[in-house]
């Protein structure tokens, strides 16, 4: 008989397996990367293997090692070269030799303090790991919470803002599409870019997981696509708002790509696939491949700046604000649940053309 007050080991393992399966691939990869970094940093700083529960002083050390602060010109540690610093006059407590080792071994991409969002994310992942392991959570300690809060305020006072990817609004998107010829890769990329943008700025994971089964042809110039699973619908429940229209030039590009798939004998499964040598279509594209396609097409179009797959989503919302599209219709397409998030895009673009901003120059 089972004890109603306790889970069996099999039930506990099954619950963990379901939780892992329910998480997106991006989430799992992000968590694994953060924990690998924690282990590498701990080994470099303490010469030991990371174990839970992690002591509170270790978490505090992690924060001061990775949060940039203003340097004191009289700081003897800085003068002795014991702090990691930059030309901006900001330093962190991470020793330069440890910083260099982490970069050399692939745990960091560059020297110096990471973005604040990266630091906060790694703390959140460690907190989640303790919760799942049912261990005392050092990240919930008042000292850690207060230090993290004050760190955020320090960054804000310095005017530090998260670096955002450029938005691919209508004009730069057209430049990307102009690089897509009638080759196999050109047809795929054109259909992918227009599908991602025109259906409301789909996330790269949604593009990569798009399937033929969820695409319904309405007529020669229009399709309906049903999002079976998304960031805001993790359970994959059927919802009317998850049906997205694909019309006009986007529908034409999709029709051209579907003709290619049919010619290759593909009538089910992934909508967007890898193209192998000889024109053979392979496995479904990974989310990272969607990002790579955006970057590659931006380079071919000669568009400078930081772009990623999110640039398509940001571009759709930004263009909607620029063209004064109704907020409700925009949110219905994107699936945004926060009005504040969408209004941030709207205000940035519509403010330049508003009558209020031009009162001084008005008649």
pLDDT at 142: 95
pTM of the model: 0.64
66 Cβ contact list (under 8 Å, min separation 6): 92, 94, 113, 114, 118, 119, 122
Query: Rounded to the nearest 5 degrees, what angle is found at the Cα of 202, between the Cα atoms of 199 and 208?
Result: 115
- Give the DSSP letter of residue 25: H
SS3 state at 275: strand
- pLDDT, one tens digit per residue, over 218-228 is 987 899 999 87
CA atoms within 13 A on the CB side of 76: 0
Residue 73 pLDDT greater than 60, yes or no: no
- pLDDT, one tens digit per residue, over 139-174 is 999 999 999 999 999 888 887 666 667 889 999 999
Domain boundaries, the chain: 13-157, 170-353
Q: Tell me which CATH code domain 13-157 carries.
A: 1.10.150.130
Q: Do the two domains 13-157 and 170-353 of this chain adopt the same fold?
A: no
pLDDT at 79: 47
SS3 state at 92: strand
The domain 170-353 having CATH identifier 1.10.443.10: the answer here is yes
Residue 80 pLDDT greater than 50, yes or no: no
Which contacts qualify for 175-182: CB closer than 8 Å, 24 or more apart?
A: 175/301, 175/302, 175/303, 176/294, 176/297, 176/298, 176/300, 176/301, 176/303, 178/301, 179/297, 179/300, 179/301, 180/297
pLDDT at 278: 87
Residue 82 pLDDT greater than 60, yes or no: no
Q: Comparing 237 with 135, which gets the higher pLDDT?
A: 135
Residue 62 pLDDT greater than 90, yes or no: yes
Chain position carrying tokens 């949110």:
331
């Amino acid at each position: 008989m089972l004890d109603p007050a306790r889970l069996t080991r099999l039930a506990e393992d099954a619950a963990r397996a379901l939780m892992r399966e329910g998480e997106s691939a991006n989430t799992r990869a992000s968590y694994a990367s953060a924990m690998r970094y924690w282990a590498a940093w701990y080994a470099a700083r303490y010469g030991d293997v990371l174990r839970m529960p992690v002591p509170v002083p270790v978490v505090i050390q992690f924060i001061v090692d990775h949060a940039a602060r203003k340097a004191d010109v009289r700081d003897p540690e800085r003068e002795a070269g014991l702090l990691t610093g930059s030309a901006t006059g900001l330093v962190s407590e991470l020793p330069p030799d440890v910083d260099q080792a982490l970069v050399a071994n692939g745990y960091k991409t560059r020297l110096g303090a990471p973005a604040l969002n990266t630091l906060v994310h790694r703390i959140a992942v460690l907190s989640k790991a303790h919760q799942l392991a049912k261990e005392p959570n050092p990240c919930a300690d008042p000292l850690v919470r207060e230090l993290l809060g004050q760190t955020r305020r320090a960054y804000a006072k310095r005017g530090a803002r998260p670096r955002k990817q450029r938005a691919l609004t209508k004009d730069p998107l057209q430049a990307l599409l102009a690089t897509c010829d009638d080759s196999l890769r050109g047809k795929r990329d054109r259909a992918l870019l227009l599908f991602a943008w025109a259906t409301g700025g789909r996330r790269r994971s949604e593009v990569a997981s798009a399937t033929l089964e969820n695409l319904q042809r309405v007529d020669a110039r229009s399709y309906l696509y049903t999002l079976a699973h998304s960031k805001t619908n993790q359970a994959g429940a059927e919802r009317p708002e998850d049906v997205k229209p694909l019309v006009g030039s986007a529908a034409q590009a999709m029709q051209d790509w579907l003709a290619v798939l049919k010619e290759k004998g593909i009538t089910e499964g992934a909508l967007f696939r890898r193209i192998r040598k000889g024109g053979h279509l392979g496995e479904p594209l990974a989310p990272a491949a969607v990002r790579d396609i955006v970057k590659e097409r931006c380079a071919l179009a000669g568009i400078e700046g930081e772009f990623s797959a999110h640039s398509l989503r940001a571009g759709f919302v930004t263009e909607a604000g620029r063209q004064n599209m109704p907020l409700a219709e925009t949110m219905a397409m994107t699936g945004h649940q926060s009005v504040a998030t969408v209004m941030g895009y709207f205000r940035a673009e519509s403010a330049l053309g508003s009558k209020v901003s031009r009162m001084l120059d008005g008649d």
